[in-house]
C-alpha cells in the first residue's frame, strides 16, 4: 500500500512534466491506433472475402473485359455451384471526390453469391423489376443521405454519358466488416445502352464471380477455368476472392509499408521522450534513492518505484489514447467517406496499442532503474545540497 | 576485567582510499579504536580528514579496503550488500545534514518508513510513530510535508525516523550544519536526551566545536589518521 502511495505521489510530483509526458503518449498511442486502423482498412476487402468464391478476370489486366459467353462454359465445370458477373462502372457523382465503387451486375444471380449483403425481399423485388434501379449499401446511403426512391445521377467515365438510377434497395452488412459503401445496378441496362451508343462494347463484362462447393478445390477449379480459355482471344486468370483483393492491396503496398513504419516510428519517438523523462526523474531523486538504500530498502524496491512510476504514466497515456481512438476514428471515417468502405478499430489494434504503451513504460524505466539500483549510497548522498 | 565497559564498535587497522582520476587517494590509514556502548562521540577534523568516510564505514554504507569493523560483534566489512542492507535496517539510525526526508511523504509517513521493513502491524507502527513524534515535539505536524516544515522541524522528523526502529547506533553527519544556532541547540539537546535517557550510542561528525561539546568524547582526525595528541 505504501509502495503504491509512493509511486502515485512521485508520479504526480511534477504535474506539468507528467501531464506533458502523458499527453505525448496519448497522441502517440492514438496515432499508432489510427495508422493501424488505416492499414486494417486497406486489407478489409481481403479480410471480408469468402473462401468459397473465385474471381475470374482477363489474364492480361483487370482493365480488359471478358466476353459474356464465357459464363455458360464456366458454369459447366464440376464443383461450381453458381456464377455471376460484375463490371466496374467508374461513374462520378457530382464531383470526382465523391468516390464510391459502382458495379453493373447480373441482378438475378449476383446477390445470391453474397449472402452477407442483407436486402429486404420486397426491396429486392422492386430492384429486379426496375431496369434503372440500383442497390446501395447503408454506409453509402448514410454518407450522401440517399433514400429509397431517390434518383442518383452519375457521369460516366468508362461508359460515357449521363446516367440516372433510382434507389430501390439499401443493403446492410451481415457483419461489421462487410463493405456497405457499394452501388450496384443492372448490367442489362448498361449493355443495352452501350449497344445503342458503342456497339463494339456490348456483351462484355469485367469479372466473373464463381461460387464453388468445396473451398479446398479452389486451386484445382481455378486451373480448370483458365485452361478452358487458354489460347483464346481473352485468356483468363482465376483466383480466390481473397487473392483477388490482395492483388489490389499489393498495388499500393509501398504506402501500406510506409504507414506501418511510421506507426512504429511514432512509438519509438515517444519511447525516447519517455525514457528521457524517467532518466531525468531518476537523476533528480538519486539522493532519495540513496537515503532509502541507507535505511535498508533494497535495489528491487527502488527499481520497483521507477518501474511503477513509468508504467503508471504509460498506462495513463495508453488508456486515454485507446479511448480517444474510437471517436477520432469515427470522425476520420466520416471525413474520408467511402474511400475506406470498412473503417473500424479492431480488437487486435487495441491490444497492440496496450502492448505498445506497456512496452514503452517498461523499456523507458530499464536504464534509470538499473542506475538507481546500482548507485553507491555514499555517492548518491553526496548529490544532495 | 568483567566490569570494563563493553565496546559496541571495534575498528581495527581500517584503511580506505578513493579512486580519483588515475590515482588512488588514501582517505583513512590504519584506523583503530573502540566506541563504548552508550557513548556519545564526536568525530572532528578539517575537510578531507576522513571523518565522514569513517562514519560511513561504521554505518555500513561503505566498505573498508582492509581491516575489520565490528559493530555489536558482527564484522560488517564481510557482509554482502543484501545482508548489509538488512543489518543497517535493524542496527543503524541515520541523521543527515540535509535531513534527507522523502518530500512526497508526510512527517508521519517519513518516520514510519523504516518500520515498513519490520514485521510490525499497521496499528503497532502507528503507535510507535506517534510516540516518536511526540518525543521530538511534533505531534501537531504529523500530516505536514517536509516542505511545510522549518529546517529544525525537518531535522526533528529525521531524528524520530532514526530512532524509531530502536537501532544499536545512531550516526549523525553534521546534524546541525544546515541550521541556525537556536535550532541547532534544540537538535543537540535532543541528541543528548536520546543518549542519556534512552542509552543510544551516538557517533556524530561535526565541524562545529560548539556541537562537539554535546558529546562525551571527541576524536580528531587529521589526514586520514587519528590525532592522538588531542
Q: What is the CA radius of gyration of chain A?
A: 29
Q: What share of chain A has pLDDT > 90, as a percent?
A: 77
Average pLDDT taken over every residue of chain B: 91
Query: A293 and B85 in contact by Cβ < 8 A?
Result: yes
Q: What is the predicted pLDDT for the residue at A40?
A: 87
Residues of A in contact with B90 (CB under 8 A): 296
- Nearest CA to B60 out of B101, B90, B39 is that of B90
Query: A298 and B82 in contact by Cβ < 8 A?
Result: yes
A384 → closest Cβ in B89, B94, B100? B100
Cβ–Cβ under 8 Å, residues A281 and A312: no
Residue of B nearest to A374 (CA): B81
The DSSP bridge pattern shows strands A66-67 and A204-205 to be: antiparallel
Q: What is the predicted pLDDT for the residue at A384?
A: 58
Q: What is the predicted pLDDT for the residue at A252?
A: 79
Cβ–Cβ under 8 Å, residues A23 and B130: no
Residue of A nearest to B98 (CA): A385
Question: Which residue in the block uniquely carries the three cell numbers 491506433?
Answer: A33
Beta bridge mates, B66: B15
Is the CB of residue A288 less than 8 Å away from at least one CB of chain B?
A: yes
Residue of B nearest to A300 (CA): B82
Is the CB of residue B86 less than 8 Å away from at least one CB of chain A?
A: yes
Neighbouring C-beta atoms of residue A199, cutoff 10 Å: 9
- Cell for B23? 590515482
Q: Where is A151: in which H helix or E strand?
A: strand A151-156
Q: Is the pLDDT of residue B1 over 60?
A: no
Question: Which residue in the block uniquely carries the three cell numbers 515535539?
Answer: B137
Query: A2 and B103 in contact by Cβ < 8 A?
Result: no
Q: Which of residues 163-202 of B touch A (CB under 8 A)?
A: 178
Q: How far apart are CA A292 and CA B148, in angstroms?
A: 21
Q: How far apart are CA B48 and CA B52, in angstroms?
A: 9
Local structure of residue B210 (DSSP, 8 states): H
pLDDT digits (tens, 9 = 90+) for B2-24: 566 778 999 999 999 988 878 88
Residues of A in contact with B56 (CB under 8 A): 377-378
Q: How far apart are CA B187 and CA A111, in angstroms?
A: 91
Residue of B nearest to A289 (CA): B102
Q: How far out from the chain centre does Cα A368 lie?
A: 38
Cβ–Cβ under 8 Å, residues B174 and B207: yes
Torsion-angle region of residue B10: left (phi > 0), alpha (psi -120 to 50) or beta?
A: beta
Q: What is the predicted pLDDT for the residue at A62?
A: 86
- Nearest CA to A354 out of A32, A112, A128 is that of A32
Model ipTM value: 0.93
Q: Which of residues 291-330 of A touch B (CB under 8 A)?
A: 291-298
Please give the average per-residue pLDDT across A156-170, as a whole number. 93
Neighbouring C-beta atoms of residue A132, cutoff 10 Å: 14
Q: What is the predicted pLDDT for the residue at B229?
A: 57
Among positive and negative, which fits the CA dihedral B36, B11, B213, A291?
A: negative
Q: Where is A84: in which H helix or E strand?
A: strand A80-88
Query: A294 and B90 in contact by Cβ < 8 A?
Result: no
Q: List all residues 6 or more positions away from A92 whose beta carbon is below 8 Å from its beta carbon.
A: A98, A154, A155, A157
Average pLDDT taken over every residue of chain A: 92
Q: Is the pLDDT of residue A177 over 90?
A: no
Q: Which of A7-16, A40-49, B157-166 has the lowest mean pLDDT?
A: A40-49
Residues of A in contact with B96 (CB under 8 A): 291, 381, 384
pLDDT band at residue B47 under the 50/70/90 scheme: confident
Q: Which of residues 104-123 of B touch A (CB under 8 A)?
A: 104-105, 109, 112-114, 116-117
Is the CB of residue B145 less than 8 Å away from at least one CB of chain A?
A: no
B62 → closest Cβ in A6, A291, A378? A378
- Cell for A94? 457530382
- Cell for A57? 478476370
- Cell for B51? 571523518
Please give the average per-residue pLDDT across B94-101, as a whole number. 94
Q: What is the predicted pLDDT for the residue at A385?
A: 44
Phi, psi of A202 (to 5 degrees): -90, 160
Residue A313 burial (10 A CB sphere; 0-12, 13-18, 19+) = buried
pLDDT digits (tens, 9 = 90+) for B123-161: 999 999 999 999 999 999 999 999 999 999 999 999 999
pLDDT digits (tens, 9 = 90+) for A191-205: 999 888 888 888 999
- Please give the interface size between A and B, counted as residue pairs whose CB atoms are below 8 Å apart: 64
The model's pTM: 0.77
Is the CB of residue B83 less than 8 Å away from at least one CB of chain A?
A: no
- Cell for B173? 553527519
Amino acid at each position: 500500500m505504501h509502495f503504491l502511495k509512493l509511486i502515485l505521489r512521485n508520479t504526480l510530483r511534477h504535474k506539468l512534466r507528467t501531464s506533458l509526458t502523458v499527453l505525448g503518449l496519448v497522441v502517440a498511442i492514438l496515432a499508432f491506433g489510427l495508422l493501424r486502423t488505416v492499414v486494417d482498412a486497406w486489407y478489409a476487402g481481403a479480410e471480408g472475402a469468402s473462401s468459397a468464391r473465385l474471381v475470374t478476370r482477363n489474364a492480361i489486366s483487370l482493365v480488359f473485359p471478358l466476353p459474356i459467353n464465357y459464363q455458360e462454359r464456366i458454369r459447366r465445370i464440376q464443383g461450381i455451384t453458381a456464377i455471376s458477373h460484375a463490371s466496374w462502372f467508374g461513374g462520378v457523382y457530382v464531383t470526382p471526390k465523391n468516390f464510391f465503387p459502382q458495379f453493373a451486375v447480373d441482378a438475378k444471380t449476383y446477390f445470391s453469391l453474397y449472402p452477407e449483403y442483407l436486402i429486404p425481399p420486397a426491396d429486392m423485388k422492386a430492384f429486379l423489376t426496375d431496369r434503372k434501379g440500383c442497390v446501395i449499401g447503408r454506409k453509402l446511403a448514410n454518407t450522401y443521405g440517399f433514400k429509397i426512391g431517390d434518383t442518383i445521377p452519375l457521369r460516366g467515365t468508362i461508359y460515357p454519358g449521363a446516367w440516372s438510377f433510382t434507389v430501390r434497395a439499401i443493403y446492410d452488412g451481415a457483419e461489421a466488416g462487410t463493405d456497405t459503401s457499394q452501388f450496384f445496378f443492372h448490367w442489362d441496362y448498361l449493355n443495352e445502352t452501350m449497344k445503342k451508343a458503342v456497339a463494339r462494347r456490348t456483351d462484355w463484362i469485367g469479372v466473373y464471380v464463381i461460387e464453388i462447393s468445396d473451398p479446398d478445390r479452389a486451386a484445382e477449379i481455378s486451373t480448370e477455368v483458365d485452361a478452358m480459355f487458354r489460347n483464346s482471344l481473352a485468356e483468363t486468370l482465376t483466383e480466390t476472392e481473397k487473392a483477388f483483393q490482395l492483388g489490389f492491396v499489393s498495388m499500393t503496398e509501398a504506402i501500406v509499408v510506409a504507414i506501418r513504419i511510421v506507426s512504429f516510428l511514432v512509438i519509438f519517438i515517444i519511447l525516447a521522450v519517455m525514457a528521457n523523462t524517467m532518466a531525468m526523474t531518476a537523476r533528480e531523486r538519486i539522493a532519495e534513492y540513496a537515503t532509502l538504500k541507507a535505511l535498508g530498502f533494497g535495489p528491487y524496491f527502488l527499481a520497483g518505484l521507477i518501474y511503477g512510476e513509468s508504467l503508471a504514466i504509460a498506462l495513463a497515456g495508453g488508456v486515454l489514447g485507446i479511448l480517444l481512438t474510437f471517436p477520432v476514428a469515427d470522425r476520420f471515417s466520416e471525413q474520408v467517406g467511402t474511400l475506406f468502405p470498412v473503417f473500424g478499430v479492431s480488437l487486435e489494434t487495441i491490444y497492440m496499442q496496450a502492448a505498445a504503451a506497456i512496452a514503452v513504460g517498461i523499456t523507458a524505466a530499464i536504464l534509470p532503474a538499473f542506475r538507481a539500483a546500482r548507485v553507491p549510497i555514499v555517492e548518491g548522498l553526496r548529490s544532495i545540497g | 576485567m568483567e566490569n570494563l565497559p563493553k565496546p559496541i564498535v571495534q575498528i581495527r587497522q581500517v584503511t580506505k582510499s578513493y579512486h580519483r582520476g588515475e590515482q588512488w587517494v588514501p582517505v583513512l590509514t590504519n584506523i583503530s579504536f573502540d566506541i563504548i556502548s552508550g557513548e556519545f562521540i564526536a568525530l572532528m577534523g578539517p575537510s578531507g580528514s576522513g571523518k565522514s568516510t569513517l562514519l560511513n564505514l561504521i554505518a555500513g554504507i561503505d566498505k573498508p579496503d582492509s581491516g575489520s569493523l565490528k559493530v555489536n560483534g558482527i564484522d560488517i566489512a564481510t557482509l554482502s550488500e543484501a545482508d548489509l542492507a538488512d543489518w543497517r535496517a535493524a542496527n543503524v539510525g541515520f541523521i543527515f545534514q540535509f535531513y534527507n526526508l522523502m518530500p512526497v511523504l508526510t512527517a508521519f509517513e517519513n518516520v514510519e518508513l523504516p518500520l515498513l521493513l519490520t514485521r510490525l502491524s499497521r496499528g503497532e507502527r502507528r503507535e510507535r510513530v506517534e510516540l516518536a513524534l511526540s518525543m521530538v515535539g511534533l505531534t501537531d505536524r504529523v500530516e505536514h510535508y517536509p516542505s511545510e516544515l522549518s529546517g529544525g522541524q525537518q531535522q526533528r522528523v529525521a531524528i524520530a525516523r532514526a530512532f524509531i526502529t530502536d537501532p544499536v547506533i545512531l550516526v549523525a553527519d553534521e546534524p546541525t550544519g544546515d541550521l541556525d544556532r537556536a535550532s541547532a541547540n534544540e537538535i543537540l539537546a535532543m541528541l543528548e536526551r536520546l543518549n542519556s535517557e534512552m542509552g543510544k550510542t551516538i557517533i556524530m561528525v561535526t565541524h562545529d566545536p560548539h556541537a562537539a561539546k554535546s558529546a562525551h568524547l571527541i576524536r580528531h582526525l587529521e589526514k586520514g589518521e587519528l590525532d592522538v595528541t588531542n
